[in-house]
């Protein structure tokens, strides 16, 4: 007969943690300048919740804060940030990020703080940011 157990294990289960980890790695991939080598520490030797600037919720181990203030980082913002569905605080103040805010950020329904001052971000603010009803 059909072995249901082996069938079930053949289908990869994408857990929220994997989605968050992938989103962080995509964020890292868009960073073009990292004078302090912060991103070297964003690797698989430690859990992503322990990466510099990352805070996770205790229960589900999902990213709730991404705070990389004044770390001499430059690059553009990855649209994959929009997959960090538990993100409440996104702080990139005093860096050199450029291009525009990806509209995917408008999908972050739990977002309370989006702090991007003193960067080189240009273009329109995504209209769907108004959907982030918790945004201060």
Q: Which domains does the chain have, with CATH numbers?
A: 12-131 (3.80.10.10)
Instruction: For residues 102 and 80, give the distance between their C-alpha atoms in angstroms, rounded to a whole number.
Output: 9
> The sheet that has 31-34: what strands, in order across it?
31-34, 73-76, 96-99, 120-121
Element (H, E) at 65: strand 63-67
The pTM for the full model equals 0.87
Q: What is the pLDDT of residue 131?
A: 85
Tens-digit pLDDT string for the chain (136 aa):
555 555 555 555 557 789 999 999 999 999 999 999 999 999 999 999 999 999 999 988 999 999 999 999 999 999 999 999 999 999 999 999 999 999 999 999 999 999 999 999 998 889 998 888 898 7
Q: What is the pLDDT of residue 132?
A: 86
């Amino acid at each position: 007969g059909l072995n249901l157990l082996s069938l079930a294990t053949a289908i990869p289960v994408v857990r929220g943690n994997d989605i968050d980890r992938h989103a962080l790695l995509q964020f890292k991939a868009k960073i073009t300048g990292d004078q302090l080598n912060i991103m070297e520490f964003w690797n698989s030797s430690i859990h992503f919740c322990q990466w510099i600037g990352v805070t996770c919720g205790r229960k589900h181990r999902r990213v709730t804060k991404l705070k990389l203030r004044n770390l001499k980082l430059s690059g553009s913002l990855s649209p994959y940030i929009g997959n960090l569905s538990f993100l409440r605080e996104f702080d990139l103040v005093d860096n050199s990020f450029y291009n525009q805010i990806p509209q995917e950020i408008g999908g972050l329904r739990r977002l309370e703080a989006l702090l991007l001052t003193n960067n080189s971000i240009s273009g329109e603010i995504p209209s769907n940011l108004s959907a982030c009803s918790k945004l201060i």
